[in-house]
Amino acid sequence: MRLAACVEYDGSGFRGWQTQQEGVRTVQEEVEKGLSVVASENISVVCSGRTDAGVHSKGQIIHFDTNAVRSERSWLLGTNTNMAHDVALVSIKSVSDDFHARFSAVARCYRYIIHQRMVKSALMRERAWWVYRPLDIDKMQQAAAYLIGEHDFSSFRAAQCQSNTPMRNVHYINLSREDEMIYVDIKANAFLHHMVRNIVGLLVEIGKGAKPAQWCKDVLEARDRKEAAITAPPQGLYFMSAEYPPGVY
């Protein structure tokens, strides 16, 4: 039997999603530990999109196979009881045997949060990127428009990215402001390693007035990571959701 679940986590205490060597705390290891206790067997999970150290999630989707028969309530409450406080199963359901959390997904959505004020925050230091200089989000939105559609995003991929192709299709990049917070919401068919954080790093440079909006287009066309800006820090990034074809999940 195959089950799919939605996982929420605070990434500040983890070295990322993927299980690593012994002694390194990861979200995958924590989730598999909790599920295995409830299932009374070893559980291995597959996720919709791996996240780096310090990155959070509101809607990570996983799937796993099991012989255990449990109610939805038992899976949720039992698993959450046997996991740490900074990770939780939000929902779980039975899916078809051909469902795949990663390969069945047709899009992923991320949100990046920038905390903009003159002084740093003691409360938001692990939840957002503090930028004290004023940002022109209209100019940032103008720059982001150059990235919409299918492009070669080599200028926005990390050196260690293992994807076979730099081609990605960005559906939208929307910026909004709410008091001291600036939200950057990005949806694409898939993302390269550090792609969202590299895009945000570039948009912030433009928002500060250091570069014109046209610079975004120039960087994209250069297909060279060295032409872009810094990588935004991980604490402002949230994996919001994965999208699937109707009726699949």
Residue ranges of domains in the chain: 2-95, 107-243
Q: Which CATH architecture has domain 107-243?
A: 2-Layer Sandwich (3.30)
Is residue 129 within 8 Å of residue 233, measured between CB atoms?
Answer: yes
Q: How many Å apart are CA 192 and CA 195, to the nearest integer?
A: 5
Question: What pLDDT is recorded for position 86?
Answer: 97
In angstroms, the CA 48 to CA 190 distance is 10
Q: Do domains 2-95 and 107-243 have the same CATH topology?
A: yes
175 vs 182: CA distance, rounded Å = 7
Could you confirm whether domain 2-95 is CATH 3.30.70.580?
yes
Parallel/antiparallel/unpaired status of strands 46-47 and 2-9: unpaired
Strand ranges (E), the chain: 2-9, 46-47, 56-65, 87-95, 107-115, 129-130, 149-152, 167-178, 181-188, 237-243
pLDDT per residue of the chain (249 residues) written in tens, 0 to 9: 999 999 999 999 999 999 888 889 999 999 999 999 999 999 999 999 999 999 999 999 999 999 999 999 999 999 999 999 999 999 999 999 999 999 999 999 999 999 999 999 999 999 999 999 999 999 999 999 999 999 999 999 998 888 999 999 999 999 999 999 999 999 999 999 999 999 999 999 999 999 999 999 999 999 999 999 999 999 999 999 999 999 888
Give how far the C-alpha of residue 138 lies from the chain's centroid of Cα atoms, to the nearest Å: 24
Indicate the pTM of the whole model: 0.95
pLDDT at residue 159 in the model? 86
User: Do residues 211 and 205 make contact, with C-beta atoms less than 8 angstroms apart?
Assistant: yes
- Average pLDDT over the chain, rounded to whole? 96
Whole-angstrom Cα distance, residue 198 to residue 237? 11
Which positions are annotated as active-site residues?
A: 52
* 8 A C-beta contact, residue 154 and residue 194: no
